[in-house]
């Protein structure tokens, strides 16, 4: 087969993910080439993601390359993928999922009962801290992982709240001071998995070959459920909704919900089922009926 061209962002973490994908394809006998691209989310660092507009902040420029045929696939963190892709695009594979927790990294010990300032660019994390740890103050910190660490070290905050997966992939495990419980800090949809995006114009032969190497079926089922939930709520990066699906025997168990921006209201439900997409949709309906519709409306007014 001809060379598979892989589109990726330029950050160290994005490159780690793209190189990991390239290694898997090469081991299966497919030659690869990395094509680097900067996205809007990489360039605009002085504005929160919610204000840039959450749709395609980290994906739009890579999608232009997919559509033009400049690259065959784009590698993304699954949690950066909008719930409804533009027409003509699809996720053809989900990589095996890393541990899903949010963690706090710092150069000092972290005690959440004390008054702390923590850096995060996630509205979900900010709202959940307001709910569970109102004594914790949050500051908006954007940029790649290395940039954020520099900002923390310069005194902007006591610690950073990050996804374990990114911290681990960059080798910063020794800086993890606290692991947030996944039943309180239910992660962003897709957190810990890598998503492989393609355009309709890519040949079926290439799609099938790439999928056969890169797709992790049990992770895919989990993420299809979570993404169906997110799509029904029309949640982007700026809406504090969350969901986590896990396998329990031959059944999927999904817990998910929404939290108001001020942290006062948090709705969470758990459902079981066998069909991922209908399970995610059903969870969304339960959350909306339980008052999630009102919280969503309030959030959209505030943003």
Catalytic residues: 79-80, 124-125, 142, 148, 237
C-alpha closest to that of 41 among 95, 122, 119: 122
Residue pair 70/7 in contact by the 8 Å Cβ criterion: yes
Contact 6, 18 (CB under 8 A): yes
Q: In the 8-state DSSP scheme, what is residue 144? A: -
CA 288 – CA 303 distance, rounded (Å): 19
Query: Strand, helix or coil at 76?
Result: strand
DSSP state of 296: H
What's the CA gap between 25 and 245, in Å, rounded? Answer: 27
- Give every CB contact of residue 49 below 8 A, 6+ residues apart in sequence: 41, 57, 121, 142, 237, 238
Helix axes 217-233, 276-287, angle to 10 degrees: 30
């Amino acid at each position: 087969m001809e060379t598979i061209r892989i589109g990726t962002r330029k950050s160290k973490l994005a490159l780690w993910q793209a190189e990991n994908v390239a290694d898997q394809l090469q081991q299966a006998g497919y030659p690869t080439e990395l094509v680097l691209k900067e996205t809007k989310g990489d360039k605009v660092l002085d504005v929160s993601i919610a204000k840039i507009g959450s749709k395609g902040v980290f994906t739009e420029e890579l999608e232009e390359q997919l559509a033009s045929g400049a690259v065959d696939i784009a590698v993304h963190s699954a949690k950066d993928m909008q719930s409804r892709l533009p027409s003509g695009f699809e996720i053809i594979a989900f990589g095996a999922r890393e541990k899903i927790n949010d963690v706090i990294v710092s150069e000092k010990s972290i005690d959440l009962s004390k008054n702390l300032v923590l850096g995060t660019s996630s509205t979900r994390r900010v709202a959940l801290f307001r709910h569970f740890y109102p004594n914790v103050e949050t500051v908006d910190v954007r940029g790649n992982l290395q940039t954020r660490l520099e900002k923390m070290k310069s005194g902007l905050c006591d610690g950073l709240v990050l996804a374990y997966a990114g911290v681990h992939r960059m080798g910063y495990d020794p800086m993890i001071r606290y692991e947030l419980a996944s039943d309180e800090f239910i992660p962003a949809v897709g957190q810990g998995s890598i998503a492989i995006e393609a355009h309709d114009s890519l040949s079926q032969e290439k799609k099938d070959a790439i999928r056969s190497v890169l797709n992790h079926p049990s992770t895919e089922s989990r993420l299809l459920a979570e993404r169906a939930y997110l799509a029904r709520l029309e949640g982007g990066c700026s809406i504090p909704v969350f969901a986590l699906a896990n396998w329990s025997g031959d059944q999927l168990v999904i817990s998910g919900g929404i939290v108001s921006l001020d942290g006062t209201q948090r709705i969470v439900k758990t459902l079981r089922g066998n069909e991922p997409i209908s399970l995610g949709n059903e969870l969304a309906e339960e959350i909306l009926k339980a008052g999630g519709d009102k919280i969503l409306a309030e959030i959209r007014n505030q943003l």
